[in-house]
Amino acid sequence: MLPTLKRGVPVVEPMDAEQVERIHEASLSILEEVGVVFRDPIAIEDWKRVGADVRADDRVHLDRGLVMELIKTIPPNVEYFARDPAKNVELGGNKSIFVPMTGAPYMRDLDDVRRGPTIADLGTFHKLAHMMPALHSSAHHIVEPMDIVVAHRHLHITYSSIKHSDKIFMGMTTSPKNAEDVLDMCEILFGEGFLENHAVTTGNCNGNSPLVWDQVMLGGMRAFCRRNQPVLCSPFVLGGANTPASTAAAVAQLNAEALSALAYTQVVREGCPAIYGHYLSTVSMQSGAPMAGTPEISLMNFMIGQMARRYNVPWRTSNLLGGAKIFDAQAGYESAMTMMAVLLSGANYIWHSAGWNEAGMHCSIAKFVVDAEVCAMGYRMTQGIQWDDFDEALAAIRDVGPGGHYFGHPHTQANFEKAFFIPKLFDNNSVEQWYADGSKDIKQRALEHARRLLAEYEEPKLDVAKDEELRAYIDRRSREIPAVDALNEEY
Amino acid sequence: MLPTLKRGVPVVEPMDAEQVERIHEASLSILEEVGVVFRDPIAIEDWKRVGADVRADDRVHLDRGLVMELIKTIPPNVEYFARDPAKNVELGGNKSIFVPMTGAPYMRDLDDVRRGPTIADLGTFHKLAHMMPALHSSAHHIVEPMDIVVAHRHLHITYSSIKHSDKIFMGMTTSPKNAEDVLDMCEILFGEGFLENHAVTTGNCNGNSPLVWDQVMLGGMRAFCRRNQPVLCSPFVLGGANTPASTAAAVAQLNAEALSALAYTQVVREGCPAIYGHYLSTVSMQSGAPMAGTPEISLMNFMIGQMARRYNVPWRTSNLLGGAKIFDAQAGYESAMTMMAVLLSGANYIWHSAGWNEAGMHCSIAKFVVDAEVCAMGYRMTQGIQWDDFDEALAAIRDVGPGGHYFGHPHTQANFEKAFFIPKLFDNNSVEQWYADGSKDIKQRALEHARRLLAEYEEPKLDVAKDEELRAYIDRRSREIPAVDALNEEY
């Protein structure tokens, strides 16, 4: 696995300091004057306790002083601990990680067939995530395991993440009870008390934009905050549908929403890690569906990066998104435009970095492995320029002279691979060679590559006692939680 | 046509001031100590006349003072005049234009068949270039018209550019005689004496990297300089093959090469327009072929932008390059990664912006129209953030409030299209709708779109007298130049 990405190129900042303050002030005015709805009695009590102005039952008007005071205690950096300590990673400032996509109700499989996924399919994705060097996490429900009842799903998803990979993984926040189960399993894996001072997993709390946070998500968030585990505070932006038709105003709204949730994490537990999140899209007028790779998404990523840096909190974005129905050129354009903007925006927690197509409705195995390689390309670009052998390389220019060739020069032979990234899944042969190789498009090559990887996969074995304890936990909870197709909020 | 792109987002500058000077000093040392070969007796005489140190017949050692003095007179901006004055464009500083690809010996046609192109096919591409709003030029030999003898080709290529589009176009520099013919045709089109004070076309002078300029290219360059028409001074970088295996040293070499040619344009004619050029790739170890979209190409684009700005000269790069054999996801990733880096590098003359695949071996009609739309997306991003309706849009947030919808709000209805780019050729419908529409990939949709465009094409009629004069010129020159498959350097 590649270590934490340390950004060596500057970020793109399309707003000047005054414009950053304009967004900031607009967001704080929204929080004070429009307010944010927390559809959750516990959150309302919490807000009242810290002196927020709650009107109409659940509409919280947040004083700008209170918000800014609260978010001050969010740690600017997060150090994550993985089952394999060599795969620990860091977040914040110029440090970033790539995390695969999650949440797909469909998949495109090893034969490129679009179908409902199973827990075995999820295992396949966790294996691939484990093997791809640029992916720093096995995430959680990359695809939804439809063969497991909804109420038990989080247990099996978490076990699959843990079992198939020794990288960090994500934690389900689909209900407060589910979140507790995940955190209990983390406690088993890492040992009692470990979570209190070590981030090992990441929750996500999606907003109901505009300006609403719901009970289930807030309950999940609280579970993570109390156990000192980072949560992504993610307004869910469908630009033009649940925001104004203006990038600047959409960012002002999103920023207000993110600030309100970030502040709330600190009400729950002062000093707990929290990550400025968002899901970001603009919608098609025609279908109302979220689009990917549009110019406004790029601009909003740049802008949100500026806001998160203003508040000195780590931030999350979404990467390599495609709206295409298949793994065609559209998916390639959309994904790469997204990634380049994301990397140059300085995002820290770079989620949905592999597999996302059809606006998140499916995860494609072919796209998963290509995206992961494209992340490795982006990683290299973002590291910046290598200067260490500059003088040596200049000496080669003198040696070779006008009209010469560099392939045979010792400096070239020693440095070629380090100097220039050669993507495995992109074909750069002549057309004649490509014909001879079977005229395969990148989808075919990627699926063959995925099959090879899976054939070579070696499971990073869990400690036997821990494995047994995890299985026992799942068995017990599976008995306690009725096996129904509904999220468990009671047992 | 979209007007000249005026960049409203900052450029990415991965080098600090000291590193820029390090490259600069390295380049000047290369020019002084290693020297550059000008394989051309006239150029050697020119260099001797201005006091350069010429050794071993054709190796020119350029004093750093001389180089810097010479390039000072290059105009930092170029204003281009088109047949339709509404399509005049500008270059330099934060102003950029998109120009289609050129030079493809093969094409993929309206049925996606890969074959040799004809002059009629070239006309098809010129028509499409004319119709795509984000393309600012019809370029020249987008594809090579193989049905015309090599010696006469430049005449018919130039006529096709002029006839099918009233945008600016490029001028062939395949030989000094060819360049003169092109410029004579420009003189017919724009009127006697017009070229002397107006840029109407663009030549290109490719280097034989490392550190060689050849006679044919230099002759073409001189023809353009003498008539005061801009020339791209383009080192041809195959990173690792004809440069050291180091991005920083490759840029130092490229920069030395570009400076030597830029300086030479001013020896030919002080004050004539010239553009810092390059073709930029890294090569595959496996095939030796140029790759596209690699991290090092992105970094080198950022770096070259910094160098060109240091010298205050406009600069050229290549856009939306693909190495894929077909229009698959590989082509999409490569092209979009290239474009994002190019736009954020601040390049001015953004060549090869549509159609390039298979490392330039073919131009694809499907890719051409998609690339042109992706340029329009890039254009929008590069313009930056719209602030003009920010307060109005914030008012919409108050109107809509928590949990509301924006689609029905008057601000949304008035601003949606202006606020959010909706790509026509990207499918953002549901999968069900996509099935109902025939499950078409973007290639199929693009080819259908191209057919529709061509059916709707209206020729921007040439003035009849000028058209006759141009045809008479071509007829005369076709009689004077023997009809052979070799470049005309004599008649």
pLDDT tens, residue by residue, A450-479: 999 999 999 999 999 999 999 999 999 999
pLDDT value at residue B284: 87
Residue type, B362: H
Nearest residue of A to residue B367, measured between CA atoms: A329
> Which of residues 452 through 491 in chain B touch A, CB cutoff 8 A?
none
Task: Choose among A248, A250, A381: nearest Cβ to B299.
Answer: A381
B354 φ/ψ sector (left φ>0, alpha ψ -120 to 50, else beta): beta
Asked whether A332 and B329 are in contact (CB, 8 A), the reply is: yes
Helices A329-345 and B442-456 cross at an angle (nearest 10°) of: 100
Report the mean per-residue pLDDT for chain B.
Answer: 97
Of A218, A162, A165, A211, whose CA–CA distance to A190 is shortest?
A162
pLDDT value at residue B288: 86
Q: What is the ipTM, given to two decimal places?
A: 0.98
**How far apart (Å, rounded) are the C-alpha atoms in residues A474 and A108?**
29
DSSP-derived pairing of the beta strands A78-80 and A95-98:
unpaired
Q: What is the CA radius of gyration of chain B?
A: 23
Percentage of chain B modeled with pLDDT above 70? 100
Quick check: B245 and A420 CB within 8 A?
yes
Task: Choose among A330, A370, A434: nearest Cβ to B426.
Answer: A330
| pLDDT beyond 90 at B197 | yes
pLDDT value at residue B226: 98
3-state class of B462 per DSSP?
coil
| pLDDT beyond 90 at A12 | yes
Residue A383 distance to chain B (closest CA, Å): 10
Which phi and psi angles does B62 have, rounded to 5°?
A: -105, 120
Residues in chain A closer than 8 A to B253 (CB atoms): 397
Residues in chain A closer than 8 A to B287 (CB atoms): 428-430, 433
> How sure is the predictor about B457, in pLDDT bands with cuts at 50, 70 and 90?
very high
> How sure is the predictor about B285, in pLDDT bands with cuts at 50, 70 and 90?
confident
Interface test with A, best of B415, B420, B434 (most A CBs within 10 A): B420
**How far apart (Å, rounded) are the C-alpha atoms in residues B336 and B349?**
17
> How sure is the predictor about B84, in pLDDT bands with cuts at 50, 70 and 90?
very high
Of A268, A216, A228, A211, whose CA–CA distance to A49 is shortest?
A268
Percentage of chain B modeled with pLDDT above 90? 99
DSSP-derived pairing of the beta strands A356-357 and A106-108:
unpaired
Average pLDDT over residues B197-214: 97
| pLDDT beyond 90 at B287 | no
Interface test with B, best of A59, A215, A246, A326 (most B CBs within 10 A): A246
Percentage of chain A modeled with pLDDT above 90? 99
| CA B420 to chain CA mean position, Å | 27
Helices B247-268 and A390-400 cross at an angle (nearest 10°) of: 50
**How far apart (Å, rounded) are the C-alpha atoms in residues B485 and B482?**
9
- Assess if CATH 3.20.20.480 describes domain B5-14+72-383: yes
> How sure is the predictor about A8, in pLDDT bands with cuts at 50, 70 and 90?
very high
pLDDT value at residue A229: 98
Task: Choose among A37, A328, A359: nearest Cβ to B441.
Answer: A328
**How far apart (Å, rounded) are the C-alpha atoms in residues A370 and A423?**
9
Residue B260 distance to chain A (closest CA, Å): 13
B4 and A CB contact within 8 Å: no
What six digits make up the tokens of A481? 């939680």
DSSP-derived pairing of the beta strands A231-234 and A274-276:
parallel
Quick check: A324 and B427 CB within 8 A?
yes
Asked whether A274 and A318 are in contact (CB, 8 A), the reply is: no
pLDDT value at residue A386: 96
Residue B172 distance to chain A (closest CA, Å): 24
Quick check: B441 and A407 CB within 8 A?
no
Nearest residue of A to residue B434, measured between CA atoms: A325
DSSP-derived pairing of the beta strands B316-318 and B349-351:
parallel
Task: Choose among A12, A210, A428: nearest Cβ to B12.
Answer: A12
Quick check: B210 and A384 CB within 8 A?
no
- Partnered with residue B54 across adjacent β-strands are B60
Average pLDDT over residues A389-413: 96
- Partnered with residue A328 across adjacent β-strands are B328
Nearest residue of A to residue B342, measured between CA atoms: A340
| pLDDT beyond 90 at A288 | no
Average pLDDT over residues A198-212: 97
Of B305, B365, B371, whose CA–CA distance to B124 is shortest?
B365
Of A285, A274, A259, A298, whose CA–CA distance to A222 is shortest?
A274
Average pLDDT over residues A213-237: 97
**How far apart (Å, rounded) are the C-alpha atoms in residues B33 and A100?**
51
| pLDDT beyond 90 at A286 | no
Residues in chain A closer than 8 A to B285 (CB atoms): 416-417, 422
Quick check: A252 and B394 CB within 8 A?
yes
Instruction: Describe chain A by its helix, strand, coil percentages, rounded to 5.
Output: 50, 15, 40
Average pLDDT over residues B167-175: 97
pLDDT tens profile B363-395: 999 999 999 999 999 999 999 999 999 999 999
pLDDT value at residue B87: 98
Sequence spans of domains, chain B: 5-14+72-383, 390-419
Residue A268 distance to chain B (closest CA, Å): 23
Residues in chain B closer than 8 A to A423 (CB atoms): 291, 294
A32 and B CB contact within 8 Å: no
Task: Choose among A294, A428, A431: nearest Cβ to B284.
Answer: A428
Quick check: A240 and B419 CB within 8 A?
yes
**How far apart (Å, rounded) are the C-alpha atoms in residues B151 and B185?**
16
In the block, tokens 């953004």 appear at: B350
| pLDDT beyond 90 at B134 | yes
Quick check: B442 and A404 CB within 8 A?
no
**How far apart (Å, rounded) are the C-alpha atoms in residues B110 and B455?**
13
Residues in chain A closer than 8 A to B339 (CB atoms): 337
| pLDDT beyond 90 at A207 | yes
> Which of residues 266 through 305 in chain A touch B, CB cutoff 8 A?
282-287, 289-291, 293-296, 298-299, 302-303
Tally the C-alpha atoms within 13 A of residue B398's C-alpha that lie toward its C-beta.
Answer: 12
Report the mean per-residue pLDDT for chain A.
Answer: 97
In the block, tokens 């026992």 appear at: A472
**How far apart (Å, rounded) are the C-alpha atoms in residues A90 and A83?**
15
Would you give the end-to-end CA distance of chain A in angstroms?
38
| DSSP codes, A386-421 | --TTHHHHHHHHHHH-TT--STTSHHHHHHHHHHS-
Task: Choose among A384, A407, A415: nearest Cβ to B246.
Answer: A415
What six digits make up the tokens of A475? 């068995």
Residue A296 distance to chain B (closest CA, Å): 6
Count residue pairs from A and B with Cβ separation < 8 A. 426
> Which of residues 331 through 370 in chain A touch B, CB cutoff 8 A?
331-337, 339-341, 344, 358-359, 361, 367, 370
| pLDDT beyond 90 at A266 | yes
Quick check: A429 and B284 CB within 8 A?
yes
State the sign of the Cα–Cα–Cα–Cα dihedral A304, A309, A313, A317.
positive
**How far apart (Å, rounded) are the C-alpha atoms in residues A469 and A387?**
50
B2 and A CB contact within 8 Å: no
Asked whether B28 and B35 are in contact (CB, 8 A), the reply is: no
Nearest residue of A to residue B323, measured between CA atoms: A428
3-state class of B65 per DSSP?
helix
Average pLDDT over residues B32-61: 97
Residue type, A125: F
Asked whether B248 and B220 are in contact (CB, 8 A), the reply is: no
| pLDDT beyond 90 at A287 | no
Interface test with B, best of A253, A385, A411, A437 (most B CBs within 10 A): A385
Average pLDDT over residues B456-483: 98
Task: Choose among B284, B339, B358: nearest Cβ to A422.
Answer: B284
Taking residue A54's Cβ as centre, other Cβ atoms within 10 Å add up to 17
| CA A371 to chain CA mean position, Å | 13
Residue B211 distance to chain A (closest CA, Å): 5
Quick check: B403 and A245 CB within 8 A?
no
Taking residue B457's Cβ as centre, other Cβ atoms within 10 Å add up to 16
Interacting residues of B368 by C-beta distance below 8 A, sequence separation 6+: B100, B101, B125, B128, B354, B355, B450
A433 and B CB contact within 8 Å: yes
Alpha helices (runs of H) in B312-349, residue ranges in sequence order: 329-345
pLDDT value at residue A410: 97
Residue A460 distance to chain B (closest CA, Å): 31
